[in-house]
Amino acid sequence: MIKGISVFLPAYNDEKTIKKLVLDAISILDPLNLDYEIIIIDDCSRDGTGKVASELEKIFERVKVVQHKENRDYGGVLKSGFANATKEWVFYTDGDGQYDIKEITKLLPYTEEYDFINGYILKRNDPIYRMILGKIYQFWIDICFGKTLRYVNCDFRLIRKDIIDQIKINSNSGFAPAEMVIKLHRNCTKIKEVLVSHFPRRQGSSQFLNLKKIMNLFTDLLKFLIQEKMNFNKV
């Protein structure tokens, strides 16, 4: 069993879900007698997420909050989460509550053998257009970079800190999870996929589904492809 774990929660306009996630995390981690910390990364939310997070920080000594003064997009949040994590292992899942953080117990048994344990889902509880877009995105990631995970955007991940510290995430957009997975895969990281649940969104809408963020994602994907081509030509 692992000794220490940093749990970070990317949060953007998640005032109605972030408290339950934190309380659920505490309820599952406390009995395990782990050295743990819970980090809420508030990516300049426009609702009361920051206020809820600050209240939790005052109540629970293991909870800390990182407030972004401007929105850094998903890649920027991941970089912030990994940079602030201090424990042996790092787990993260989104603050919107679409994953059950208590299912982290499904991942923990594999830490003896693997360096990166990632969730995957059989039934995605999202609107049909999001599921179609997700399948198209996964298809192009597989075509461009080879098969790495069944679902590269399943943000329910447990990673050894020293492993994630070996790579550099350049993307600030929603392409960052794919970039991270591709680089870890190519570093011959020992990866295990574990089935987890997925639930309908309880509030708000996805921050990815606006033109600017979609353009940023594909810009970062194209930059990564070009860099890959340049590196290949140097060999």
Q: How far apart, in Å, are the Cα atoms of 116 and each of 85, 110, 161, 164, 213?
A: 16, 9, 10, 9, 27
Band of pLDDT at residue 6, cut at 50, 70 and 90: very high
Both structure tokens of 75: 């890649």
Tell me the pLDDT tens digit for each residue of 202-224.
Answer: 775 566 667 888 899 999 999 99
| SS3 per-residue string spanning 2-15 | CCEEEEEEEECCCC
- What is the pLDDT, as a whole number, of residue 170? 95
Q: Is 0.75 topped by the overall pTM?
A: yes
CB-CB contact of 36 with 5 (8 Å): yes
Tell me the pLDDT tens digit for each residue of 88-132.
Answer: 999 999 999 999 999 999 999 999 999 999 999 988 888 898 889
Does residue 232 carry a pLDDT above 90? no
CATH code for the part of the protein at 4-234? 3.90.550.10
Residues 6+ apart with CB under 8 A from 94: 9, 10, 11, 155
Question: What average pLDDT does range 45-57 have in this prediction?
Answer: 97
